[in-house]
Structure 1
Amino acid sequence: MPTIHYLTTADAIAEAAAHFATLPRIGIDLEFDDMRHRYGRHLALIQVFDGQEAYLIDPLPLPDMAAGLEPLFAVLREPAVAKVFHSCKSDILLLDEVFGVNCRNIVDTSVQFTLLAAEDNNISLGRLIQSELGFEVDKGEQKSNWLKRPLTDAQMEYAANDVLYLFELTDRLTTRLNELGRGEWAAQENLALEAVRYGRDDPRPWSRNAAKYKISPSEMPIFRELYMLRDSVARQLDRPPYHVLSNDRLAELARQPIENANQLRTANGLHPELKRSPYAEQLLAIGTTDLAPEAPLPPEQRKFPFRRRLNGPAAARAEARETLLNALKTHLATDHGTTMANMVLSNRLISEIIEQGANAALRPWQQQLLRESAERHGEDYGQIAEPF
């Protein structure tokens, strides 16, 4: 095991960051708590590999986390230093959400592996290490509490393993991609990761859960108010919302609300705080008040699928585009295999191409494969190239 440096002060982090800034690349990973042990998303650890040694950067002891980590964030923003991740989207979303950091020059080993078009194109780091390097690493600490201190030796070893093999993995995958003529494909996909941003404006955060539990329009007002009450209590307690009220119980209460003090006293599955003032009164009010129905979203916030906005000749044109795209997907599967066909023309991308056109919705490498298959099978790529 290489040397592991455990950094807990702003001065030590600044010194390490100055070293990282001189390197052509670093391996990096983040450990964070996402509504598992506390309310919200909290950075717990940053792991960095410089090619020789591992650095575990602990942000929790810092008096001002953002200020103490700023020298490292400057390196993440610096395009001259490549940042090698595995499956980086959660990490870069957290950096953007909590600190406003836009990571530049990303190399994602998950992206690289996906472009090899193996049968399993959604691979964990542990399985990728086993597949490419031939040994197993212990992943037993994956779901441990990363906000608890002190970190155990097992946690430190686990965290270091998340970065120690990234250079070897990306070098191997780069070689294989170049042999297949797909090195530029990976460059395009990695560049696109720089544009990934955290979506801060969700006007109805309860809607996804409501859809999952098939909440009816008549049940929606109660579900909405319960969801918001749960969130308020969770925030006040600094606990994940499911500690206050599970999703299953939330749906049950939307269908059979608590309407009197006796029901509240004997109700199961509620955090004790929900049975105390002022939340007890709010919970009873939800079950006994005529609540306002869901108001229509303002036009600028509506996200109706493009096809739902069409009728008549326009709908027929869209259907013709979809038919052609499905035919092209079949041709891609014949030419390059099912995995690659799904990467070029997933259901989501087909919907986007119908509206935006392939030239806008697809990366250049995807456009190239699609155009070549269209020509090979006598289809007209031009019919789906431009916006609807």
Structure 2
Amino acid sequence: MSAIQYLTTAAEVQQAALALSTASRIAIDLEFDDMRHRYGRNLALIQIFDGQAMLLIDPLPLTNPAHDLEPLWAILRDPAVEKVFHSCKSDILLLDELYGVHVRNITDTSVQYTLLAESDNNISLGRLIQAELGLEVDKGEQKSNWLKRPLTEAQKLYAANDVLYLFELADRLRDKLAALGRLHWADEENAALEEVRYTRDERPYLRVAGKYRILPQEMPLFRDLYMLRDQVARQIDRPPYMVFANERLPELVRDTPRSLNDWKNARGLHPELKRTPYLEQLTALSPDNFVAVPEPAATGEQRRFPFRRRLSGEKANRADAREQLLLQLKNHITTDLNGYVANLVLSNRLVADIIELGADQVLRPWQKTILQETTQRHGLDYGQIATPF
């Protein structure tokens, strides 16, 4: 590896982007803070390797990061330049959320490895480097505070290692997929990553409420406490857990302080909450003062398996028959290929979606081909699961 170039100015970014614009491919990774040290998701570092130059681009010193990084964003949008990532979904969601960047021409080594179907689910970059290249890389800086400056030499080396081996991994995994006749699987899955978009969760408290089994009658107070905590966190630029921990949310709902003094003495609350105007807002949540605004009904997208819950009688029987056929096909794919491939084609989520929407709409072409070939091989009818219910 050549010497690490640490770039901190708009002029350096522009010069680097000019050189990268002629590359056929770049290896890229991002370090960012997601509600660990500051509020929200914050880009902390961009690592790029083009086969010769190792670039660490620091967005924090830039006067106007969105503007100053635009020459680099143009390369990420350029379909003529291949971008090699490992497990890129979080990165491309962040780029879309913060900068409106939609990355084109993606190769994800995590996707490639998954489609080999040698083991289940994703693999960390460190384990993949060890498995494929026989190298041990130091992952000791993985949980570093990437927003703290100056970065240490250990952090810089860790960040560089995240992109240094991506070309070699991508090429090796591509050869393995080619030998199995699965290159088109990876092409389809990587192409689908271009369509990944960030969407704001308007009701983020529902995920936490589910974890703590909040009852419907408890939800209005839980929601208002959650949103007040978020408001304070944004104001002081700290993660919500630093305002008060998640486990305090259900405790405060089920044993709510009854007065201003009770709130002042409540344990585990950030001091900012005990000052005006937040203390008054907390007091308004006390049992004698709280006016509950009912939680709106969940939309179809927010309900789990909403389709199946709408069915009864003959329609429910037809849905059950579809499910049984899909599970039968999953068993056949397990026997014909292996269980990992079967789960890639017919995971529990995909089975539920196919029951409602049909395989033609839900599956990628490579998955659909496997399903069609399996039904034909075992004398079953693909048409029974092809179209919407």
Residues 231-259 of structure 1 show CA distances to partners (whole Å, capped at 9, x for unaligned) of 01000000000000110011111111111
Matches within 5 A, 1:376-387: 376-387=377-388
Question: Where does the alignment leave 5 or more consecutive residues of structure 1 unmatched?
Answer: none
**Matching residue's letter, 2:344:** M
Residues 50-77 of structure 1 show CA distances to partners (whole Å, capped at 9, x for unaligned) of 1112100011111100110000000000
Residues 268-320 of structure 1 show CA distances to partners (whole Å, capped at 9, x for unaligned) of 11111111121111112112323324343486876462212222222221111
3-state SS of paired residue (1:107): strand
Report the Cα distance in structure 2 between the residues aligned to 1:307 and 1:256, rounded to whole angstroms: 37
Contact 1:221 1:291 in 2 (8 A): no
1:43 aligns with 2:19: no
* TM-score normalised per structure 1: 0.97
Contact 1:222 1:287 in 2 (8 A): no
**Matching residue's letter, 1:217:** P
Report the Cα distance in structure 1 between the residues aligned to 2:29 and 2:197, rounded to whole angstroms: 18
Report the Cα distance in structure 1 between the residues aligned to 2:146 and 2:257, rounded to whole angstroms: 36
1:32 aligns with 2:32: yes
Report the Cα distance in structure 2 between the residues aligned to 1:302 and 1:60, rounded to whole angstroms: 36
Contact 1:359 1:386 in 2 (8 A): yes
**Matching residue's letter, 1:378:** G
Residues 169-219 of structure 1 show CA distances to partners (whole Å, capped at 9, x for unaligned) of 00000000000000110000000000000112x332211100110001121
Partner of residue 10, structure 1: 10
Report the Cα distance in structure 2 between the residues aligned to 1:310 and 1:358, rounded to whole angstroms: 19
Contact 2:219 2:295 in 1 (8 A): no
Report the Cα distance in structure 1 between the residues aligned to 2:95 and 2:259, rounded to whole angstroms: 45
Report the Cα distance in structure 1 between the residues aligned to 2:330 and 2:339, rounded to whole angstroms: 9
Report the Cα distance in structure 1 between the residues aligned to 2:5 and 2:120, rounded to whole angstroms: 35
3-state SS of paired residue (2:216): coil
For residue 138 of structure 1, report the CA deviation from its aligned partner: 0.6
3-state SS of paired residue (1:263): helix
Report the Cα distance in structure 1 between the residues aligned to 2:92 and 2:375, rounded to whole angstroms: 36
Partner of residue 376, structure 2: 375
When residues 211 and 330 of structure 1 are mapped into structure 2, their CA distance, relative to the original with a 3 A threshold, is same
Contact 2:26 2:84 in 1 (8 A): yes
Partner of residue 72, structure 2: 72
Report the Cα distance in structure 1 between the residues aligned to 2:337 and 2:258, rounded to whole angstroms: 60
Report the Cα distance in structure 1 between the residues aligned to 2:95 and 2:202, rounded to whole angstroms: 22
Partner of residue 189, structure 2: 189
Aligned length: 387
Partner of residue 335, structure 2: 334
Contact 1:349 1:361 in 2 (8 A): yes
Contact 1:113 1:121 in 2 (8 A): no
Residues 317-356 of structure 1 show CA distances to partners (whole Å, capped at 9, x for unaligned) of 1111111111111111111111111110001101111111
Partner of residue 222, structure 1: 221
Report the Cα distance in structure 2 between the residues aligned to 1:254 and 1:95, rounded to whole angstroms: 36
Report the Cα distance in structure 1 between the residues aligned to 2:14 and 2:359, rounded to whole angstroms: 45
Report the Cα distance in structure 1 between the residues aligned to 2:49 and 2:276, rounded to whole angstroms: 50
3-state SS of paired residue (1:218): helix
**Matching residue's letter, 2:219:** M
Query: Which has the larger displacement, 311-320 or 100-109?
Result: 311-320
Matches within 5 A, 1:196-275: 196-200=196-200, 202-275=201-274
Question: Where does the alignment leave 5 or more consecutive residues of structure 2 unmatched?
Answer: none
Report the Cα distance in structure 1 between the residues aligned to 2:250 and 2:303, rounded to whole angstroms: 25
For residue 148 of structure 1, report the CA deviation from its aligned partner: 0.8
Partner of residue 105, structure 1: 105
**Matching residue's letter, 1:118:** E
3-state SS of paired residue (2:45): strand
Report the Cα distance in structure 2 between the residues aligned to 1:77 and 1:84, rounded to whole angstroms: 13
Report the Cα distance in structure 2 between the residues aligned to 1:307 and 1:192, rounded to whole angstroms: 27
Contact 1:220 1:293 in 2 (8 A): no
Partner of residue 115, structure 1: 115
* TM-score normalised per structure 2: 0.97
Query: Which has the larger displacement, 214-223 or 170-179?
Result: 214-223
1:170 aligns with 2:165: no
1:319 aligns with 2:320: yes
Report the Cα distance in structure 1 between the residues aligned to 2:329 and 2:293, rounded to whole angstroms: 44
Report the Cα distance in structure 2 between the residues aligned to 1:61 and 1:291, rounded to whole angstroms: 46
3-state SS of paired residue (2:381): coil
3-state SS of paired residue (2:39): coil
1:349 aligns with 2:350: yes
Query: Which has the larger displacement, 46-55 or 305-314?
Result: 305-314
3-state SS of paired residue (1:32): strand
**Matching residue's letter, 2:290:** D
